[in-house]
Amino acid sequence: MKYNILILGNLNNCKNAFKKIDLDLIDSLAFITNEMDSRNKWFADKNNFLTDDIKELDFDFIFVAAGKFQEFRKFKNQLLDQGIKEEKIWYNFDVDTFNLRLKGFRKYNSGTLKYKKDFFMEEKPAANQMNLDFNSMNKLEQYFYCNKGKTIHKFLHYFEIYDRHFSRFIGKDVAVLEIGVSKGGSLELWRHYFGCKSKIYGSDIDPKCKKLESEQIEIFIGDAEDREFLRSLKEKIPRIDIVIDDGGHYMNQQIVAFEELYPFISPDGVYLCEDVMTSYMEAYGGGYRRKNSFIEYSKNLIDYLNAWYSKEKSWLSRKKLNVDEFTLSTHSMHYYNNVLVIEKRKIDPPFAAMIGNRDI
């Protein structure tokens, strides 16, 4: 289905909003702008006051392309006063949600959590108002949705992934390193999840994060792209069982952190890199199929996971794929929406056996 869409705001904001709207959703589109060269000057610059009645125009939705939320509120109130229904009014920063909503998505991806009832995505409910079934939550989700401590910022579907790969460490003497401390909330989440025997380490480039240390939590200050800093962590931390890379998300940061820390993880440990969406974002050095993105880098590791079976030289590089330390120490790689998990385990050469009645 296609829609008639209006975009209200200065010309540059209108153009930027238009670029983000899925073209498959547009039947007709018009800008309502205050630019002097525009055919109609709809509002004054100083107070963003609409000078004409918009409700008489033919449209299904109107985007307010405002630079600040306060400006959006001013325009929205004027549009409501003109009798325009609230569900037709959108803020330009919600374009992604708009695209999804009109394609039939009605709620957010919350992993295995169950909703007591549906809600419209544009309502953007707070986490504690999402009508989630508490009984369907794992231990991490229960802590997150009831959190009154330091701020935790996570995609909702991550908790299912964490629990799938980390639950075997609960109650054990486990050492966890999280790259990226931010407000410190996730470090407290890990302490709660793994229990009193755990040791939680954090690293961040911001010196202010040091003050977030508390019982069982130790924080190191440095750049995750700095190999010398990462090597110094291996001297200060006796053992690491789990690494969670939630740092700056730039390509070189993710690659360097993996190269330096993965070999140091205990033989049965786990390496988790989240927010790999940046591998598709030019601003972070990524891009679809871009050679030096973390995702493309990780795809090469799949070959080494299977290096046992490579017998001939590559037709492209004329080189043979050899079993290396990654092959010998890696049990599996798990790709999820926005997350890569790599589980370690000492690997012996694969061997196939044939068992059963061969006469059948």
- Radius of gyration, alpha carbons of the chain: 26
Average pLDDT for 319-341: 94
State how beta strands 217-221 and 26-32 pair. Answer: unpaired
Contact 62, 90 (CB under 8 A): yes
Nearest Cα to 222, choosing from 245, 205, 236?
Answer: 205
pLDDT of residue 71: 83
Per-residue pLDDT tens over the stretch 73-101: 888 888 888 888 888 888 877 787 778 77
The partner residues of 199 in beta bridges, in order of sequence, read 175
Least confident of 26-35, 42-51, 78-87: 42-51
- What do you get for the CA distance between the two ends of the chain, in Å? 58
Per-residue pLDDT tens over the stretch 269-312: 999 999 999 999 999 999 999 999 999 999 999 999 999 998 87
CA atoms within 13 A on the CB side of 184: 18
Q: Dig out the tokens for 235 from the structure.
A: 């001297």
Per-residue pLDDT tens over the stretch 207-224: 999 999 999 999 999 999
Boundaries of every domain in the chain = 3-101, 107-134, 137-344
Per-residue pLDDT tens over the stretch 99-135: 877 777 766 677 776 666 555 444 555 555 566 777 7
Domains 3-101 and 137-344 share a fold: yes
Is 70 exceeded by the pLDDT of residue 50?
Answer: no
- What CA–CA distance (Å, rounded) separates 133 from 86? 29
Nearest Cα to 205, choosing from 187, 179, 240?
Answer: 179
- What CA–CA distance (Å, rounded) separates 279 from 298? 11
Q: Which CATH architecture has domain 137-344?
A: 3-Layer(aba) Sandwich (3.40)
Helix (H) or strand (E) holding 298: helix 294-305
Per the model's pLDDT, the better-predicted residue between 10 and 25 turns out to be 25
Return the CATH number of the domain spanning residue range 3-101: 3.40.50.720
